[in-house]
Structures are given as C-alpha cells and as structure tokens.
Amino acid sequence: LGVSVGSAGLQVSSVQSGSAAASAGVTAGDSIVAVDGHRVASHAQLSTVLATLEPGARVTVEWTTAGGTTRRKTVTLGSSPVN
C-alpha cells in the first residue's frame, strides 16, 4: 500500500494486488482515515498502529473514497513485504 499525507488522512497512491487493502476495495485516490479504531493522519501514526498488530489480525479499516463516500471494512492483515 503506497500512501502520502493528504488533507483527509493518508491518500492512497497504490494498492498491492492480493493485499488486505485490495480485498477491502481500497483503490488509488482513496484516503485511509482510521485503522483498528485509531485515527491515522501521518505515516508515523499508521506505522505505530500497524506495529502493534500481528499478521493474521482482523482489523477494521475506515477510508474515504475519491468520490467522498466513507467506507469501513474488517480485513485480515497479511505480512509486510521484505525490503
């Protein structure tokens, strides 16, 4: 999941095929606003939330679509890609 800081959360620039975000229906241009009940408005906040979660954890993701619709979906986290 590629994100950058936007005015309404973390704007999604890309979504990896097969990822939890892709299965939830998150697409490029959407903005992630909360993960597991925690507001995320920066990379640091997102990293902090994700660091407390294990692969396989079920979390609710809240996002706003590029068209302005708010969506929520519970997803199962995968593992982070190794760099």
Does the predicted TM-score (pTM) go above 0.85?
Answer: no
Write out pLDDT tens, residues 52-77: 999 999 999 999 998 999 999 998 88
pLDDT at 6 over 70: no
pLDDT at 20 (0 to 100): 80
SS (H, E, C) 65-80: CCCCCEEEEEEECCCC
pLDDT at 3 (0 to 100): 56
